[in-house]
């Protein structure tokens, strides 16, 4: 990505060092990976409320934790890119930046709610409701540049003013490689977290049986 992939912009139109725009190859897959994590939270929350099976609550928690990390990385990488493109780490009137921040804070609050409730069944039920309602922020964040585009580029059409990002050719090839890499990373991290949570539950059961 740093040495072989082409700069995903006309170097003559780039503000600052055009090489800084290579962060696009990481920023976009990271952002979509966060959306996918929160989609897993949404689906698992619905399935928990329908079945009351603890496994769905564990999956929701695992996906939410990974998603929050990726949402934070999205904000961080976007700010670094923004400094090069706009000469500012944060442009307060850009809708995508603000909706992405709200998205991160909503799911950070989801994790905090889980920490605040001790009773397992009540915690799972409340978290499931939160996970379903909170998912509204995902399509709002994704579609925000179509509602009101100021600074943030619209990569996937339809976009205000017509067209899309025009991603094609070699740029698309390298971008898809990173999408595959980050999707696999997300899946691996979620499965690892699920296994950790299951081991934690077994340890708690053993403690209760032995009155430890």
What pLDDT digit, counting tens, does each position of 159-197 carry?
Answer: 555 444 556 677 788 888 899 999 999 999 999 999 998
Q: Is residue 158 reached through a cis peptide bond, with omega within 30 degrees of 0 on the bond before it?
A: yes
Half-sphere exposure of 78 (CA within 13 A, CB side): 23
pTM over the 0.75 mark: yes
Model confidence pLDDT, tens digit, residues 113-129: 999 988 889 999 999 99
Q: What proportion of the chain, given as a percentage, has pLDDT over 70?
A: 82
Helices then strands, counting H and E runs in the chain, come out as 6, 0
| Cα–Cα distance measured from residue 21 to residue 41, given in angstroms and rounded to the nearest whole number | 31
């Amino acid at each position: 990505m740093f040495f072989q992939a082409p700069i995903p912009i006309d170097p003559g139109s780039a503000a600052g060092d055009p090489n800084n725009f290579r962060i696009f190859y990481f920023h976009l897959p990271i952002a979509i990976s966060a959306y996918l994590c929160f989609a897993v939270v949404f689906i698992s929350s619905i399935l928990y409320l329908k079945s009351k099976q603890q496994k769905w609550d564990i999956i929701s928690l695992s996906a939410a934790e990974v998603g929050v990390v990726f949402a934070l990385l999205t904000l961080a990488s976007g700010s670094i890119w923004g400094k090069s493109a706009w000469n500012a780490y944060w442009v307060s009137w850009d809708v995508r930046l603000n909706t992405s921040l709200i998205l991160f804070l909503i799911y950070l609050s989801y994790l905090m709610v889980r920490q605040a409730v001790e009773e397992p069944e009540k915690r799972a039920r409340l978290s499931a409701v939160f996970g379903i309602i909170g998912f509204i922020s995902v399509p709002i964040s994704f579609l925000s540049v179509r509602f009101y585009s100021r600074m943030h580029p619209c990569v996937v059409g339809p976009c205000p003013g017509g067209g899309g990002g025009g991603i094609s050719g070699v740029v698309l090839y390298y971008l898809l490689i990173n999408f595959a890499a980050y999707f696999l990373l997300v899946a691996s991290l979620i499965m690892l977290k699920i296994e950790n949570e299951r081991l934690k539950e077994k340890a708690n059961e053993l403690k209760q049986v032995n009155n430890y």
